[in-house]
Amino acid sequence: MSDVVIRSDKIGKKFRIGHRTADQGSFREAMLRGPRNLLRGAVDLIQGRSVVAGDSVEEFWALKDVDFAIRRGEAVGVIGRNGAGKTTLLKILSRIIEPTEGRLEITGRVASLLEVGTGFHPELSGRENIFLNGAILGMSRAEVRRRFEEIVDFSGVEKFIDTPVKRYSVGMHARLAFAVAAHLEAEIMVIDEVLAVGDSEFQARCLDRMSEVANAGRTVLFVSHNLAAVMALTKRALVFNAGHLFFDGPTEAAVSHYSASLSKGSSDRNWGRGRNATLVSATVVDADDRPDHRVDNAVRFVVDACSPDGIPYNFKQSAGQGTLAMRLGTPLRFAALPAPDPG
């Protein structure tokens, strides 16, 4: 389909760890590891190849066999616990790092926002930093100049625009940084957890801005631990767990899968067994799988059993009058969202 703007085909990323901690001493190590390694190290060095000089390196896959396709104009959430590989995926998409295996096809300009204020220089003024940061994010000078007023307005720091950024408060710094990023014009926006900064009023403004962007027909990939924000901004989400794409589908279902991956191990898929939950809406099906009726009022229930994929589809009401069967894949909405992964 020509409408697909990002197609990921068995993407994998392998990191070498262990040598990272020995960064400082690695040259000496390479020299001390005996003649064979020394020679190899010297050849690598002359060729400018930064390979690890040593036999035993710990390797691990931060991403493995990740397949998905995203169509033009889709807003897709990316969720998963810390270290699941979300940032790694975004870095591959934005060409910061290279995949170790697999193939990725991207159509259109990608603007990536892995942090706000990348490259801000404390000695430069707010005005100067807008131009600097804009250029770093891939905006042309003309583009920044055209949108300069808007950026300053959005940031709300016009009084301090000629003050060095080192005199800004953390919040002002974040506002200015997000303001530049919010005015990026690219077909594909890739946004990591960048909203954890600023006061709640500003965060709300950022979310508004992002839904504007998403509704303007741009393709957005949005990583966040703020599940409410993900649910508000996206219809579809990818759930990552330990480097694997664990689930790809409607955001509501993704959120419950994420909760499943939060529970101890990924093998333990019995999410919420015996726990209380509030059903907000559901479609109840009869024995022939035909939709029977919708439940829209809140009903308290206790999870009795789970489908292998973690969606509770069999539960009984807390009053204990029998069980309700629910078709898998039926959108589930939970009033009380699982708490975000801390830290």
* Interface residues toward Mg ion, by CB under 5 A: 87
Q: Which is nearer to ligand ADP, 126 or 248 (CB)?
A: 248
User: With binding defined as CB under 6 A, does residue 256 bind ligand ADP?
Assistant: no
Instruction: Please state, in angstroms and rounded to a whole number, the distance separating the CA atoms of residues 274 and 286.
Output: 24
CA atoms within 13 A on the CB side of 172: 18
26-55 binders of another protein (CB under 8 A): 26-28, 30, 45, 47-51
Instruction: Please state, in angstroms and rounded to a whole number, the distance separating the CA atoms of residues 6 and 12.
Output: 15
Judge contact between 200 and 211, C-beta under 8 A: no
Query: Do the bridges between strand 188-191 and strand 276-279 make them parallel or antiparallel, or are there none, so unpaired?
Result: unpaired
Q: Which is nearer to ligand ADP, 241 or 251 (CB)?
A: 241
Whole-number Cα distances in Å, 334 to 82, 253, 264, 290, 311: 23, 10, 20, 23, 12
Nearest in space to 151 (alpha carbons), one of 174, 182, 124: 182
Spell out, one character per residue from 14 to 33, where the chain touches ligand ADP: x when CB under 6 A holds, - when not. Answer: -x-x--x-------------
Give the residue, chosen from 40, 71, 73, 104, that forms a contact with another protein under the rule CB under 8 A.
104
Q: Which residues pair with 60 in a beta bridge?
A: 15
Q: Which is nearer to another protein, 124 or 285 (CB)?
A: 124
Judge contact between 223 and 237, C-beta under 8 A: no
Q: How far is the CB of 246 from another protein (least distance, A)?
A: 23
Give the residue, chosen from 6, 11, 52, 62, that forms a contact with ligand ADP under the rule CB under 6 A.
62
Stretch that binds another protein, among 118-126, 149-157, 262-270, 279-287 (CB under 8 A): 118-126
Residues interacting with another protein, by CB under 8 A?
Answer: 5, 15-16, 20, 23-24, 26-28, 30, 45, 47-51, 91-92, 94-110, 112, 114-115, 118-119, 121, 123-124, 128, 131-132, 135-141, 143, 185-187
